[in-house]
């Protein structure tokens, strides 16, 4: 395939769906206990809802929405730390757009901006570095978040700041790692998973080898998947085929993007600038060992956690919000008591409704629309 519309061909999607249904029938799966496949990445969740892929698949297959949206797993206390930095007189606080609206215990960054704090949306950490160059009399802080997908660009920005000796730039590092997160999901007694759709963007950086423990130690198949409709359907087909053949392997559907060994230059930059934290706090998942990174002592002058005194409080989500249960796949987004009522994209209470990759936002925008199968893909 050469063009994006080829990956969205409705007829090919129907053909793959028929093959999946045939495999499921041969496997003898019941509707009462369907196969449960977790799509780790929020980008997959968005595509599944946007293209109505559940309507292609038999009832014996169910998607479980994982914690792969980095904005969605930000604890309230981290947002409060961001606001604490941003409200200082001499600070320009920079961040990606989705993080602006995540609720803290008292306010979001967007509300702090409305109250007068100098908070700016940027598209990359290099944009924040340029702001620091243009404002030498200000302290510029970049809120670094995301999995290994965004880690290299942040690391390279720190290296660039060091090379140019830019001293008014700092990073508030909240980058997270995918492998300990998946392990925590597998170790959870509440989770019943039959396989994984691997996160394609993360895998583009780390490769496929780090996932081998899932098949070897937990006996679950994983298929690294692309983000177009046919990518996801083919990946589901590959997962079901493994189960039918009683195999547990890590397969790579997204070969056009993901090399087995990952991106060596990106991995080198990460290793140069960051080191693992002992533990990291996740919204809905609690503390997970070695699931986040911090700046190495070599580049401590760029560490906002050392430069500023932060509250660093652990703050529980509102009792009425069920973000944690959605993130861990215990309930579906529309089963939350607040979904579509008190909690909407315009008035989000939980982080899963804020981000465009959040499961609740995706379900709100696309999941309530019933599309006749004959029209899907046209």
- Mean pLDDT over 348-357 rounds to 74
Residue whose tokens read 């930000």: 74
pLDDT at 95: 97
Per residue in 173-190, pLDDT (tens digit) is 999 999 998 998 899 887
Mean pLDDT of all residues in the chain?
90
In this model, does residue 375 exceed pLDDT 50?
no
* Distant-in-sequence, close-in-space partners of 24: CB < 8 Å, separation ≥ 6: 35, 58, 60, 61, 240
Return the number of other C-beta atoms located less than 10 Å from residue 31's C-beta. 9
CA 336, 342, 344, 348: dihedral to nearest 10 degrees?
-100
Entry pTM: 0.88
Mind listing the domains of the chain with CATH numbers?
A: 1-68+179-280+326-378 (3.40.50.11750), 76-176+292-307 (3.40.50.11740)
Per residue in 245-288, pLDDT (tens digit) is 999 999 999 999 999 999 999 999 999 999 999 999 887 778 89
pLDDT at 369: 47
* Distant-in-sequence, close-in-space partners of 299: CB < 8 Å, separation ≥ 6: 158, 162, 273
Instruction: Say which range, 64-68, 158-162, 321-325, has the weakest mean pLDDT.
Output: 321-325
- Quote the CA–CA distance of 177 and 181 in Å, as a whole number: 7
In this model, does residue 215 exceed pLDDT 80?
yes
- Quote the CA–CA distance of 319 and 219 in Å, as a whole number: 35
In this model, does residue 333 exceed pLDDT 90?
no
Please give the structure tokens belonging to residue 76.
């309230």
User: Strand pairing partners for 282?
Assistant: 286
How confident is residue 367, by pLDDT bands cut at 50, 70 and 90? low
pLDDT at 372: 43
Provide the percentage of residues in the chain whose pLDDT is more than 90. Answer: 65
- Quote the CA–CA distance of 145 and 326 in Å, as a whole number: 21
In this model, does residue 218 exceed pLDDT 70?
yes
Strands 293-295 and 274-276: antiparallel
- DSSP secondary structure of 195-258: EEEEEHHHHHHH-SGGGHHHHHHH---EEEE-SSHHHHHHHHHHHHHHHHTT---EEES-TTT-
* Diameter of the chain measured on Cα atoms: 68
pLDDT at 102: 86
Long-range CB pairs of 335-338, under 8 A, 24+ apart, other chains included: 336/360
- Mean pLDDT over 156-168 rounds to 98
């Amino acid at each position: 395939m050469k063009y994006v519309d080829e990956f969205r061909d409705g007829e090919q999607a129907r053909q793959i769906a028929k093959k999946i249904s045939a495999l499921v029938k041969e496997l003898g799966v019941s509707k009462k206990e369907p196969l449960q496949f977790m799509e780790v990445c929020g980008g997959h969740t968005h595509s599944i809802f946007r293209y109505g892929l559940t309507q292609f698949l038999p009832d014996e297959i169910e998607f479980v929405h994982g914690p792969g949206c980095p904005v969605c797993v930000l604890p309230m206390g981290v947002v409060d730390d961001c606001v604490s930095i941003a409200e200082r007189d001499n600070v320009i606080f920079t961040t990606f757009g989705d993080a602006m609206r995540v609720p803290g215990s008292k306010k979001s960054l967007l509300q702090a901006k409305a109250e007068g704090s100098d908070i700016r949306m940027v598209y990359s950490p290099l944009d924040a570095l340029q702001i620091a160059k243009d404002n030498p009399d200000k302290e510029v802080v970049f809120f670094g978040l995301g999995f290994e997908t965004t880690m290299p660009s942040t690391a390279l920005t720190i290296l660039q700041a060091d090379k140019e000796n830019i001293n008014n730039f700092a990073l508030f590092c909240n980058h997270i790692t995918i492998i300990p997160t998946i392990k925590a999901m597998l170790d959870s007694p509440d989770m019943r998973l039959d396989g994984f759709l691997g996160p394609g963007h993360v895998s583009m950086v780390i490769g496929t080898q780090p996932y081998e423990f899932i098949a070897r130690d937990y006996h679950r198949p994983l298929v690294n998947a692309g983000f177009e409709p046919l990518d996801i359907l083919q990946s589901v087909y590959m997962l079901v085929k493994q189960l039918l053949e009683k195999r547990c392997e890590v397969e790579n559907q997204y070969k056009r993007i993901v090399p087995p060994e990952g991106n060596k230059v990106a991995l080198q930059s990460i290793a140069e600038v960051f080191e693992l934290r002992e533990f990291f706090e996740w919204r809905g998942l609690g503390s997970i060992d070695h699931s986040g990174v911090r700046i190495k002592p070599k580049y401590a002058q760029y560490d906002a956690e050392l430069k500023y005194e932060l509250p660093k409080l652990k703050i529980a989500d509102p009792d009425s919000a069920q973000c944690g249960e959605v993130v861990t796949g215990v309930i579906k987004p529309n089963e939350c008591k607040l979904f579509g009522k008190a909690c909407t994209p315009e008035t989000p209470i939980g982080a899963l409704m804020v981000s465009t990759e959040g499961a609740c936002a995706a379900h709100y925008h696309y999941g309530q629309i019933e599309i006749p199968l004959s029209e899907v893909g046209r």
